[in-house]
Amino acid sequence: MPNQIHYEVFRRVGAKGGWNLLEVLPSRDAALKLAKDTMAEGNATGVKVMKETYNDDTGDYLSLKIFEEGLNSYSVPAAAEETPNAIPCFKPEDLYSYHARSTIARLLVDFLARNKITVTELIHRADMLEKLEATGTTFQFAIQKVAVAQAASSTVGVQQIVKGLNELTTKACNRVYKDQRAGKFPDPEAAQFKLLAAKLAGQGDAAYLFNGALARHLKECKGWDEKVLRLLTIMEDAPKEEGKPRELVLSSIDSILAEVLGGSAALRDLLGASENLAEMLRKLVDLFLGRTRPDAADGLKLLNSHFAADTLPEARTAVANRIIAEFKANKRLCPESVVEELKALRSIANSIVLGVGKYLSQDDLIAAFTLRSERLVMPEVLGNYLEGAAPDEKFERMLFVEDNIIGAKNKRALSVFTLPLLTGAFDAHFHNPKIPLVQRLQRLANLQARVNRSGFVDVTKTQMSEKLDALAVAVEAKGRLFESVQARPTNHVERATTLLKLATSGVFTEPQLAGKARKIILGYLSQPGFLTGYLAQMPRDADTPPDSQKAMSELMAELGKAGITAETGLKSIAA
């Protein structure tokens, strides 16, 4: 899908209660089930499910109610009804949700990159929160951007939303400051995290404290690879028994790694410098598939092994999303060459298709490749690609483009650009007597074969194929190929053999020119004495006559390659 989508489940409690966010889920079915189960269990007087669609272009969310049920007949002020859309979070704890962390990562991307931290580290480290607050404009701009986006789908004013968000973020920051001063965030060594998980598991603030400990543990890391290595070292030492302690370790580390891999700055540091987007995408695909590159650093190598073992679902999803996002971006894969761009597109597609499954949907992949293809069939791109090429080469280049793009719409757009190439200069090129006649005819036949294998719609293929065939007929008529064969001072066997060799080597276009050649060949076969002459010219030993059955079998095979059935050939051959 072109946009990221999640579903928010809200509930009412009491006759006049307001809407409260219950859960955020990625699945529509799961969200609807939770809403219905909440009502069925009597835990709410009303429930509703909102579909939230993130727009990549504007950075905003579009809200759509897809389900509502319960005792909602009493009147509620419009402002109260719109509260969920007006203020996305209601209490400091909400800022730690997946939805909130994704929003923070998007709004503070530069701050996070400069300080080489993830969102989880930011919201658990007092020193980073103080640094963010000290920036002033960065912090307030982020709040204002959220407020404007929310106000667009709400009756609540921007200033009111800004005030609510300021109060909320202030409470969240003060909570971290207070807990830091009180020493609530542990500071264990790597080997002690499994003991900490066992101690915290089951507590209401277990994830908050455990992530705080992880943030402190990563504080002294010099780069992203060292962070990845530290996190995976802790993960590999997690409690072996299934249960809440193990789940706490795995889920916390998986989430942080997903944040690392979701950021372009961290990926550049982890994957190393790339010559162009194509090379970077190849590295991303290798990472997603768990393929270890020889030049990978220690943290990346360990991460590759975990991806190969499929032990980090959230992190792998982040890489999959990143791959899709890069394909949808405007940046060219290989800016200097359309040929290299198309080759890269195909090679990357052939690799990433191996990863289609639970983390990477085929629909998302096709949509991304279709969008990438759309940018390659723009007139200015194709015009530059064709510049300086001969008429036949221009047409061949368009067939090469068609073979490496996807999307019916894109192929239609390409055909509009391609069909006009088969006129004027194209005809003149193939009527040029300086180029050998057989070479020109074979070139037209090869182009026609490629057209017939192409993915253009049938009507377009027929138009192109018929045009090439008609041109080939005209070129042959002007060059008098068949007349020259007939005029040779040889017998009918040699003339038929000559045309058969031309027909089976792909010199004639279908159906007119090849049909004419077949008709002439059958005419030679029907001449009296053809079979006797054909057997006579077969190679033989001095004392051994030619094997007539083998000779006939070989002749039928050659006729079949030329499009003449065995039945027709046998009926035509004269003894």
Pick the last residue of a domain from 150, 179, 208.
Answer: 179
Report CA-CA distances (Å) from 513 to 134, 503, 564: 80, 10, 14
Does residue 101 surpass a pLDDT of 90? no
Q: Is residue 237 part of a domain?
A: yes
Domain membership of residue 140 (yes or no) is: yes
Residue 234 and residue 290 share a domain: yes
The residue among 301, 331, 361 that closes a domain is: 331
- Do 170 and 196 sit in the same domain of this protein? no
126 with 228, same domain: the answer is: no
Confidence class for position 544, pLDDT limits 50, 70, 90: low
Burial readout 169-201 (b: 16 or more C-beta within 10 A, e: otherwise): beebbebbeebbeeeebbebeeeebbebbbebb
Domain-embedded: residue 398: no
Q: pLDDT tens for residues 28-47?
A: 888 889 999 888 888 888 88
Number of domains the chain contains:
3
Q: Determine what percent of the chain is predicted with pLDDT higher than 90.
A: 55
Q: Are residues 203 and 175 in the same domain?
A: no
The string of pLDDT tens digits covering residues 198-255 is: 999 888 889 999 999 999 999 999 899 999 999 999 999 999 899 999 999 999 999 9
Specify whether 140 is located in the same domain as 45.
Answer: yes
Please give the pLDDT value at position 210. Answer: 94
Whether residue 226 is found in the same domain as residue 99: no
Is 97 inside any structural domain? Answer: yes
The answer to whether residue 244 sits within a structural domain is yes
On whether residue 377 sits in a domain, the answer given is: no
Same domain, yes or no, for 154 and 228? no
Looking at the structure, tell me whether residues 143 and 41 fall in a common domain: yes
Residues 48-86 pLDDT 10s = 888 877 665 555 566 777 888 876 444 444 444 444 444
Average pLDDT of the residues of the chain: 87
pLDDT, tens digit (0-9, with 9 covering 90-100), for 124-168: 999 999 988 887 788 888 888 888 877 776 677 778 888 888 888
Q: For residues 171 and 270, state if they share a domain.
A: no
- The answer as to whether 338 is a domain residue is no
In whole angstroms, what is the distance from residue 522 CA to residue 119 CA? 79
pLDDT value at residue 73? 42
Averaged pLDDT, 312-327: 92
Is the pLDDT at 315 greater than 50, yes or no? Answer: yes
Same domain flag for 113 and 259: no
Residue 143 and residue 26 in one domain: yes
Domain housing 508 = 491-575
**Cα gap 567→563, rounded to integer Å:** 12
Mean pLDDT of 526-549: 77
Domain boundary among 155, 179, 203: 179
457 is a domain residue: no
pLDDT reported for residue 86: 47
- The pLDDT confidence band at residue 478, using thresholds 50, 70 and 90, is very high
- Give the pLDDT of residue 71: 61
Considering the domain architecture, whether residues 519 and 542 belong to the same structural domain is answered as yes
